[in-house]
């Protein structure tokens, strides 16, 4: 009899307990600041151009060779608007191959790239893996729209 009452009590407690699950994707848990999704490029608002100079350091260091970088002369340097002589022209990262190792962020001397720490960096489901190759505009979009933590720059 005592055992039956105990199990009934346990059932009642479980029925009254608040649920531990949430209705994803309607609700999102807060992401920790140290979270690492995929790398994105950072926009320099002071000069209105990317921090990236297209130096190729990240491209050479990437262990899975999923980055492609093309540099050009910076037209803003010629007019005196920017101190960067070179600037990024084209940039692609294949997120389907990226293993989120953070090495590109570590080797960048210009703090031009950071690991996305928002849900947008995680919710990347696509039907065709070619859509996971992000170009320069896509890699800069979140930073330009101020949708990433300011602390993304180390």
- Chain residues binding ligand SF4 by CB under 6 A are 39, 52-58, 62-64, 66-67, 69, 88, 93, 98-104, 107-108, 110, 112-113
Q: Minimum CB separation from ligand SF4 for residue 36, in Å?
A: 8
What's the CA gap between 45 and 73, in Å, rounded? Answer: 19
Q: Minimum CB separation from ligand SF4 for residue 26, in Å?
A: 30
CB atoms within 10 A of CB 140: 21
Q: Minimum CB separation from ligand SF4 for residue 62, in Å?
A: 3
What's the CA gap between 145 and 154, in Å, rounded? Answer: 19
Q: Minimum CB separation from ligand SF4 for residue 111, in Å?
A: 8
Q: Which is nearer to ligand SF4, 29 or 83 (CB)?
A: 83
User: Which of 59, 84, 80, 60 is CA-nearest to residue 69?
Assistant: 59
Q: Which is nearer to ligand SF4, 53 or 74 (CB)?
A: 53
Q: Are 107 and 39 in contact (CB under 8 A)?
A: no
Q: Are 63 and 107 in contact (CB under 8 A)?
A: no
* Cis amide prior to 25 (ω within 30 degrees): yes
Q: Which is nearer to ligand SF4, 93 or 140 (CB)?
A: 93
Q: Which is nearer to ligand SF4, 63 or 80 (CB)?
A: 63
């Amino acid at each position: 009899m005592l055992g039956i009452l105990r199990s009934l009590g346990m059932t009642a407690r479980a029925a009254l307990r608040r649920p531990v699950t949430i209705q994803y994707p309607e609700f999102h848990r807060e992401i920790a600041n140290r979270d690492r999704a995929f790398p994105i490029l950072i926009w320099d608002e002071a000069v209105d151009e990317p921090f990236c100079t297209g130096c190729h350091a990240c491209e050479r260091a990437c262990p899975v060779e999923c980055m492609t970088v093309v540099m050009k002369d910076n037209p803003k340097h010629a007019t005196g608007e920017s101190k960067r002589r070179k600037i990024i022209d084209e940039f692609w990262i294949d997120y389907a191959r990226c293993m989120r190792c953070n090495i590109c962020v570590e080797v960048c001397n210009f703090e031009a790239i950071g690991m996305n720490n928002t849900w947008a960096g995680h919710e990347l489901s696509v039907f065709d893996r070619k859509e996971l190759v992000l170009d320069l505009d896509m890699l800069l979009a979140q930073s330009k729209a101020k949708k990433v933590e300011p602390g993304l720059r180390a």
